[in-house]
Structure 1
Amino acid sequence: MKGRNMTRWRDPAKDPRQQPKSNLITAEGAQRLRGILDHLARVKRPALSAKVGEAAAQGDRSENADYTYNKKELGRVLGRIRYLTKRLDELQVVDRLPADTGKVFFGAFVELEDDNGETLSLRIVGHDETDTRKRWISVDAPLAQALLGKAVDDDVTVAAPGGQQEYIVTAVHYAPIT
């Protein structure tokens, strides 16, 4: 198989992208996804449809860059709407605090300290709401998997690309559910 879209072959059994993702999401994450879907369906799609119609009315579509661009953009938006609609149906919203808020579970804000005394703050969220700037990691991530069920002062060992990383859990808290 040749072509410009060909990538290197990966063994499906060892490819982490092939592992099933959890279908958990926080209530605020689900609300954010619904907001994006609503904006795309009610604002973006009608505006692009109007632009495509105006560009099509100008005549020859084969040399009309405005038509071509807006048609591609409309297809991208429609694909995103289909994906979000399907994904929101699959997701399970976690809108309750765990029974034991002293341990790390889904939705927890966790503070860790490494061997050098440096502090790492993160939150365990669903795959669809990860954000590296906020340090929100997926519940499917190796660090999150190692943290689940741990309490304050527990040791955590994680296999990292640079070798084993060891942390101590220094704090666990949850956002208030409204």
Structure 2
Amino acid sequence: MQGKTNPITPQGYAALKARYDHLLGKERPEIVEIVSWAAGNGDRSENGDYLYGRKRMREIDRELGHLARRMKAAKVLSPADQPDKSRVFFGASVELADEDDTRKTVTLVGDDEQDASAGRIGWSSPLARALKGASVGDLRVVKLPSGDKEWEVMAIDYA
């Protein structure tokens, strides 16, 4: 991820920041307190609170570092500010139909905020890459492990 920007919606950035603040302001101080208390109990080699606490502190520090790097590389883009709303770009909600006229709606969001079960797909996913720049009525082929699948763009929204 070095040298690359990380496009993200304002809501996605707020979620990253909230997670960072929660880890730094609440979880980490609680673990530090537990580790300090456990260290004062003597033998650390068989002290479960101490061993677990140190392990959890390393996990939190690793996640804090990851979140800090992602936020530093983030480029907050508001979908409402998109100048060309007739084509698919970052932040677009796109209604798609396949060959069987099965319809689904997906929203192109940053990779850190993707959630396929909620219809939010990452900006660098195969479907998002295939849809970039498409207009209503365009047919796009997505290369999937199970084979190619063709989707037609039915509607584009930047609400």
Is 1:97 paired with 2:97? no
Structure 1 length as normaliser, TM-score?
0.83
TM-score using structure 2 length: 0.93
Aligned residue in 2 for 1:14: none
Corresponding residue for 1:5?
none
User: Counterparts of 1:113-132 in structure 2 under 5 Å?
Assistant: 113-132=97-116
Contact 1:21 1:140 in 2 (8 A): no
Aligned to 2:151: 167
Which structure 1 segments of 5+ residues have no match?
Answer: 1-17
Of 91, 96, 112, the residue aligned with 1:112 is 96
For residues 76-124 of structure 1, the C-alpha deviation after alignment (integer angstroms, 9 at most, x for no partner) is 1011112211221111111252111121100111110000111121111
| Residue equivalent to 2:38 | 55
Whether the 8 Å contact between 2:4 and 2:73 is mirrored in structure 1 is no
Is 2:60 aligned against 1:77? yes
Q: How many residues were matched structurally?
A: 157
CA gap 1:22/1:113 in 2 versus in 1, 3 angstroms: farther
Q: Distance in 2 between matches of 1:158 and 1:132?
A: 16
Structure with greater helix percent: 2
The CA deviation at 1:21 is: 6.5
> Given the alignment of the two structures, is residue 39 of structure 1 paired with residue 2 of structure 2, yes or no?
no
**Unaligned 5+ residue runs, structure 2?**
none
Distance in 2 between the 1:108 and 1:42 partners?
34
Identity %: 38
Q: Secondary structure at the match of 1:165?
A: strand
Are 1:153 and 2:137 an aligned pair?
yes
Query: What is the alpha-carbon root mean square deviation over aligned residues?
Result: 1.6
Kept after mapping to 2: 8 A contact 1:30/1:93:
yes
